[in-house]
C-alpha cells in the first residue's frame, strides 16, 4: 500500500487524539495533542524517556476541535464500536487538513494515558469514567440479551 505522507522533516504532522465514550449515542472528549520527544512516539518515547508532551486541550480553533470530535464519533460509529475508543488523527502542519490515522478500541488506561486524561479535561473524573464504562457494558449486555437466535 502506498499513501500520501503528512508533514515532512522540517514541519512534522501534528498528532491529535480524541476519546470517545458511549454505545448507541457516543460522545467525544476535548482533543489532545502529543508532541513526541523523538522522531516517533514509540514505546521508549511514551514510557521511558522524558521529553514528550501531552497538550490538553490541543491548540485548535473551535471549528477544528468540532471537526475532530465529529470525525471521532463518525469513525467510532462506522466500525460499530461500543464502550470506549480513542481516535487518532494527523494534522498537516501547512494546510491544517485533518486525516484519520487509527481507531484504538482498547486505549491505554494508566495514569499517564491520554484516554482518561482527555475525559478529565472534558469534566469527567476518573472514577466517574469507570462508572460510566461499567454502565455502558451493562447496557450492551442487556441489549445483546434481547437478540434471538435460531438454528
* CATH number reported for the structural domain that contains residue 44 in this entry: 3.30.470.20
Q: Is the pLDDT of residue 31 over 80?
A: yes
Indicate whether 6 belongs to any domain.
no
Higher pLDDT, 62 or 41: 62
Going from the C-alpha of 5 to that of each of 74, 77, 90, the distances in angstroms are: 23, 26, 10
Q: Is the pLDDT of residue 1 over 90?
A: no
What letter does residue 7 receive in the DSSP assignment?
B
Indicate whether 151 belongs to any domain.
no
Higher pLDDT, 75 or 113: 75
Indicate whether 7 belongs to any domain.
no
Q: For all residues of the chain together, what is the average pLDDT? A: 89
Quick one: cell of 59? 491548540
Number of domains in the chain: 1
- Asked whether the beta carbons of 93 and 11 are under 8 A apart, the reply is yes
Higher pLDDT, 151 or 109: 109
Indicate whether 8 belongs to any domain.
no
> Residue 74 and residue 22: Cα distance in Å, rounded?
12
Indicate whether 100 belongs to any domain.
yes
Which uninterrupted H or E stretch holds 75?
helix 62-78
Indicate whether 87 belongs to any domain.
yes
Band (44; pLDDT cuts 50, 70, 90): low
Indicate whether 38 belongs to any domain.
yes
Higher pLDDT, 4 or 146: 146
What letter does residue 99 receive in the DSSP assignment?
E
* Residue 98 phi, psi (nearest 5): -105, 130
Structural domain of 91: 14-145
Indicate whether 86 belongs to any domain.
yes
Amino acid at each position: 500500500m502506498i499513501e500520501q505522507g503528512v508533514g515532512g522533516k522540517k514541519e512534522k504532522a501534528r498528532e491529535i487524539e480524541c476519546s470517545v465514550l458511549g454505545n448507541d449515542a457516543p460522545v467525544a472528549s476535548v482533543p489532545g495533542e502529543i508532541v513526541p520527544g523523538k522522531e516517533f512516539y514509540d514505546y521508549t518515547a511514551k514510557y521511558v524517556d522524558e521529553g514528550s508532551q501531552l497538550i490538553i486541550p490541543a491548540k485548535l480553533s473551535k471549528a477544528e476541535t468540532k471537526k475532530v470530535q465529529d470525525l471521532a464519533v463518525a469513525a467510532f460509529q462506522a466500525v460499530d464500536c461500543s464502550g470506549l475508543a480513542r481516535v487518532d488523527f494527523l494534522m498537516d502542519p501547512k494546510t491544517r487538513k485533518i486525516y484519520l490515522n487509527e481507531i484504538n478500541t482498547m486505549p491505554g488506561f494508566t495514569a499517564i494515558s491520554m484516554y482518561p486524561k482527555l475525559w478529565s479535561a472534558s469534566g469527567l473524573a476518573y472514577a466517574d469514567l469507570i462508572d460510566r464504562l461499567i454502565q455502558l457494558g451493562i447496557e450492551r449486555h442487556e441489549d445483546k440479551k434481547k437478540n434471538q437466535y435460531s438454528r
